[in-house]
């Protein structure tokens, strides 16, 4: 972990302000790789559960140290991927849309997440279409970016727009290594979920970073048009899950191996906080995968 720079040390023209976030996480007590549902998973190679827990604990402790609130959902034996809580739902203004996983290995997670949301005061909407929550849905200002191509189906994007009453922009992923949208796009200025300005003062547009090669041509054009000032991340940084990151508007939690992205963030006035989740990457997940944002009613 890198120490946070004081706000006074930032570039005077770009003052980023951290926002207190509320996250849902799950300890990887049962983490292992016993099946293959993405190119990162190799069941023949052993995993170290204790190491995964220790790395996860560092991420948890870092969020707490920087003033964020972290809720925990109990891990369930036999569901090793519950640690990737971002795939468990999508929440705006106290409404929680549950998930329907494409792969049978993860369908046992659906009900525990929806039950947790209901028990903690969220209005739960049972999903109709196949989609994998915040893995493929990212809130940027007032707009929801929605991925498809490998996991979430196109029909889920229409359902998403109906449930939340927001514009949904469909983006197609084309590289199987980046099978969820949150592996190819990082939202740098998190929205409050109520249409208020982002921490950088950019309003609904927000700031993002993304990996151009992960998308088809039409999606690249859409991103270029909507986010002309986005950080374009290199293939090398994308390949180490550099974009699978979380941000509070100032601190951006990223892989220490994404050195180019780290430099780009510093140039834009963000403070990269380096967290090594290399053991959890063996399951195809990183920092954002382990972090589901709980957006309450505004």
User: Distance (Å, rounded) from C-alpha 118 to C-alpha 111?
Assistant: 10
Tokens of 294: 């709980």
Give the span between the Cα atoms of 19 and 281, in whole angstroms: 27
H-helix or E-strand spanning residue 264: helix 259-267
Task: Single out the catalytic residue among 26, 68, 157, 289.
Answer: 289
CA atoms of 44 and 36, how far apart (whole Å):
10
26 is catalytic: no
- 144, 167 in Cβ contact below 8 A? yes
| Cα dist from 70 to 26, 200, 269, 275, 283, whole Å | 10, 24, 25, 17, 22
Annotated catalytic residue within 26, 68, 180, 290: 180
State yes or no: is 289 an active-site residue: yes
- The full length of the chain comes to 298
How far is C-alpha 130 from the geometric centre of its chain's CA atoms?
18
Structure tokens at 74: 């109990």
Please give the Cα distance from 247 to 260 (Å, whole number).
17
Distance CA 137, CA 92 (A): 11
Active-site amino acid positions:
180, 289
């Amino acid at each position: 972990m890198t120490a946070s720079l004081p706000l006074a040390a930032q570039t005077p023209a770009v003052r980023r302000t951290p926002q207190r976030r509320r996250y849902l996480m799950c300890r990887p007590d049962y983490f292992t790789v016993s099946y293959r549902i993405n190119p990162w998973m190799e069941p023949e190679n052993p995993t170290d559960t204790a190491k995964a827990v220790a790395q996860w604990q560092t991420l948890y402790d870092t969020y707490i140290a920087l003033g964020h609130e972290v809720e925990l959902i109990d891990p369930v034996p036999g569901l090793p991927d519950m640690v990737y809580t971002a795939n468990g739902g999508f929440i705006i203004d106290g409404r929680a849309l549950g998930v329907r996983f494409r792969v049978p290995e993860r369908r046992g997670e659906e009900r525990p997440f929806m039950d947790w949301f209901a028990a903690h005061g969220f209005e739960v909407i049972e999903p109709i279409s196949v989609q994998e929550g915040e893995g493929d849905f990212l809130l940027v200002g007032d707009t929801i970016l929605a991925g498809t191509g490998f996991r979430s189906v196109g029909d889920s994007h229409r359902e998403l727009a109906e449930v939340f009453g927001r514009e949904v922009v469909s983006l197609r992923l084309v590289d199987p290594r980046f099978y969820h949208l949150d592996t190819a796009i990082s939202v740098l200025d998190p929205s409050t979920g109520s249409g208020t300005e982002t921490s950088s003062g950019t309003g609904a547009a927000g700031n993002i970073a993304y990996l151009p090669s992960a998308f088809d041509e039409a999606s690249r054009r859409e991103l270029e048009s909507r986010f002309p000032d986005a950080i374009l991340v290199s293939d090398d940084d994308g390949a180490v899950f550099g974009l699978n990151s979380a941000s509070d508007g100032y601190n951006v939690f990223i892989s220490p191996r994404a050195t180019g992205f780290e430099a780009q963030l510093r140039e834009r006035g963000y403070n990269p906080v380096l967290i090594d989740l290399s053991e959890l990457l063996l399951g195809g997940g990183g920092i954002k995968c382990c972090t589901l944002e709980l957006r309450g009613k505004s």
